[in-house]
A and B are shown apart, each in its own frame.
Chain A
């Protein structure tokens, strides 16, 4: 079945809908068809006792006039409903003031053909839909049994498998017709431990854009081992005395620092509106030489991978910081036209219910020249080493970011000493970036279930090598 058949529309109708959308004077129209099936299984108290299956189907229609957006969607794809949505979206043309600038359709970019164009970064080698659900049930039970076998303190295990397959089709006023098939599997495990009269918890996850081949012994062992890892330290952990101190961020999940502290401020919509702390710093040095920060849609099977973004622009790597210099923002077609550059494949959305906006994909920093994690720790007299995180947040205008540390250690005279947990760390993005003192050579991209919540929820990934930041504020008592 081709996608026009899947969505019950003809190419002639696609053209007619775009024409309807532009009738009131818009300069760009695009259509986003989506058919998503989402399934979940939940293990609790040793049994897979609940599950779900959810279907989401529809088409979003966007009309632009300059930088102004009109958006509407229909949950059916009969032509009358779609035409009504196109008309509603097209009303932006009447609402927009004449001051918004009116780039032609062409200036929004046929996006440059990236090297990656035509490559499938997430083939579904084993179909989720056709795989036996009973096998998934058994897999969750093996996770439960494996965790209980490794640590006698385990009291409760909750394990969730969720997977979705989205088929999307996009058409725009340049006549570009693009399709993508997007599998996504996620496993999450939460464990409650009891030691004496004390209770502690741990949670781990793994999320990959791939088919049911994800259900493997390697993934099982990874989740089981990480679920029980470090629990001795967790039971001993205390809150440190709060205040400003050096922070060594462990490789991998510490990439949340990049996502929150810098990544959002690189998104072009915040810069176009003058809100970002980086809005007038293009081409200027923002951190020490040798540091490269990029947002990458081309990592195979990554949660942040995009064959094409949700505007039909090919997946690609975008260097925002090259050798310490700010070299690019993250663009959708609106900001690309505004800045007169090619879109970078960052126009993403939660579903057909939302208009695309600049979003990150897999954001990470390349490895640096400063040795190993141990070298960084050894260089700190008093500070903190952090390696597990729960969430983060940023205030775009101020650049103030926070991230919540689930576990780490105090560093005293170059050695890890007291375990710490459940502390928030706060800093300022540009200041923290400029205060990176050392970057180790151990880049790791984390494969947890990271979801960015900027207006809409979008799957992302993040990574970083171990880095030393001179001074951040650590919460404590």
Chain B
């Protein structure tokens, strides 16, 4: 945990910055520790131990701004670093919009760092032997396989870690966050008919009891085997169902387009969108940053501003941009939060639907279970992604699909929303369920 001595160290860093010429400053101390065991084909392949500690400083000097970081934290080295940082800030142009956030907006209730209950005390007691046992027990290798395919390789990775941070500024803000994480991911490659197919699955939780590592191998194998014999289908317009594992791919660009930086630079396809109904009634995205016990919940952003539960898009209407202090001053808008912390897409048109139910509702189309590359244009919202998945008819999967591209424009895509499921994976940063859209262009 971050010690009292380290808290004092951060305070002293702020004092040193002031003494060296900064009128205002923010200091962030981050500490993390991670132990990892990787396996290859059922044997330990790699063990690593990582321990990091770094100090970041945001300095406001004579109306100028710079951001700095170092992991050389010995007192003499740090003092020399701060002196250099203040000097470096003085060559930057003056910018009156740069400022610390209003203390009234800042977080006051993150005092211990564990208010959200995201620290599993068991993490400190995990021994190297225990880690290896967990990693090896999670491995499904060797597994008896039917003659249609053989397993080429299985690569698994178990890790447990703790991350802690404290943010302080010269306005007296002080907030802390601590979170443990237990993670397992596995990739299995199978060979059939001279072709290789791979499948990946993962799980993560801040609570070691919630991690289901053994299930990951089964899912990864299912996904690899499910792709055997995959091929493109005829190019055309299909109903697209994107499973919950992958659906954030079509939500993240919306959130990026609502960033204050993108708006201020005219680099967004959602310019002048607040208050406008640009999406269908079925789309509601809520930011739920303060859910106890849930991975990625957090009480404050990197400026120390308190997070709040708030709609981002509500029944199709854009409710807010993500605007930090700088962008608020620059655009003369009220500040909000710098980014969505834990955005959640709400179910539509009713709760309780999962991927299978949505396939039944849709009848026929393409189920997307993985994306292979691609990108989107932030200015126009045009996108083009490689995909793999399955052709489905009458609600049932009929054959695997690969080597195809899904192309379109995000505003048009979302206008054709058919279903938003109720099956978001709690281990993900963005809580996005299975989504279905009509009339999507696929080429192959």
Q: Interface of A with B (CB < 8 Å)?
A: 39, 41, 44, 47-58, 67-76, 85, 88-89, 91-92, 95-97, 99-100, 133-134, 137, 155-156, 158, 190, 192, 194, 199-201, 239, 242-244, 260, 273-275, 277, 353, 355, 390-404, 421-428, 473-477
Contact = CB atoms under 8 A, between A and B. Distances in A.
A89 B196 CA distance: 33
Contact of B47 (A39, A70, A396, A422): A70
B102 interface: no
Contact of A85 (B49, B69, B374, B444): B49
B81 interface: yes
Contacts of B47: 69-71, 88-89, 91-92, 95
A380 B375 CA distance: 27
Contacts of A476: 405, 407, 441, 443
A70 B47 CA distance: 5
A46 to B, nearest CB: 9
Given A243-B235, A277-B196, A156 B265 contact: yes
Given A398-B402, A423-B384, A96 B44 contact: yes
B71 interface: yes
A52 B67 contact: yes
A424 B385 CA distance: 6
Given A68-B43, A72-B49, A400-B386, 15 more contacts: A44-B265, A47-B93, A50-B95, A52-B67, A52-B68, A68-B46, A85-B49, A89-B47, A96-B44, A192-B267, A200-B380, A398-B402, A400-B403, A402-B372, A402-B405
B212 to A, nearest CB: 24
A476 B406 CA distance: 8
B190 to A, nearest CB: 8
Given A393-B372, A474-B443, A477-B441, A201 B46 contact: no
10 contacts: A70-B47, A72-B49, A95-B37, A96-B43, A96-B44, A158-B265, A199-B380, A243-B443, A392-B373, A402-B373
Interface in B322-378: 372-378
A68 B68 CA distance: 37
B46 A69 contact: yes
Nearest to A73: B50
B189 interface: yes
B373 A201 contact: no
Interface in B384-442: 384-386, 388, 402-408, 441
Interface in B68-104: 68-72, 74, 81, 84-85, 88-89, 91-93, 95, 98
A47 B95 contact: yes
B437 to A, nearest CB: 14
Nearest to A134: B91
B87 to A, nearest CB: 9
A53 B85 contact: yes
A200 B269 CA distance: 10
A69 B50 CA distance: 14
Given A423-B384, A424-B405, A426-B403, A49 B46 contact: no
Contact of B66 (A50, A134, A194): A50
A423 B405 CA distance: 9
A392 B373 CA distance: 6
B407 A424 contact: yes
B28 interface: no
Contact of A402 (B85, B88, B386): B386
A190 B267 contact: yes
Contact of B152 (A56, A97, A275, A428): A275
CB-CB nearest 9 A-B residue pairs: A242-B443, A402-B373, A393-B373, A475-B405, A397-B196, A424-B384, A475-B384, A404-B375, A402-B386
Nearest to A85: B49
A392 B384 CA distance: 12
A39 B52 CA distance: 21
B425 to A, nearest CB: 22
Nearest to B93: A47
A422 B409 CA distance: 11
Given A53-B85, A426-B373, A475-B384, A97 B68 contact: no
A396 B198 contact: yes
A402 B374 contact: yes
Contact of A91 (B68, B128, B267, B379): B128
B21 interface: no
B52 A75 contact: yes
Interface in B236-271: 265-267
Nearest to B412: A477
A75 B373 CA distance: 35
Interface in B135-154: 152-153
Contacts of A423: 384, 405, 407
Nearest to A200: B379
Contact of B402 (A39, A190, A353, A400): A400
A53 B66 contact: yes
Contacts of A399: 196
Nearest to B55: A55
Interface string B173-212: 0000000000000000100000111100000000000000
B196 A398 contact: yes
B380 A395 contact: no
B40 interface: yes
B267 A95 contact: no
B48 interface: yes
Contacts of B160: none
Contact of A473 (B92, B128, B232, B265): B232
B45 interface: yes
B53 interface: yes
Contact of A72 (B48, B68, B374, B407): B48
B332 to A, nearest CB: 14
A393 B370 CA distance: 13
Nearest to A41: B92
Interface in B30-58: 37, 40, 43-53
A273 B373 contact: no
B44 A428 contact: no
A260 to B, nearest CB: 8
B170 to A, nearest CB: 19
B384 A473 contact: no
B407 A395 contact: no
Nearest to A473: B444
B373 to A, nearest CB: 3
A152 to B, nearest CB: 16
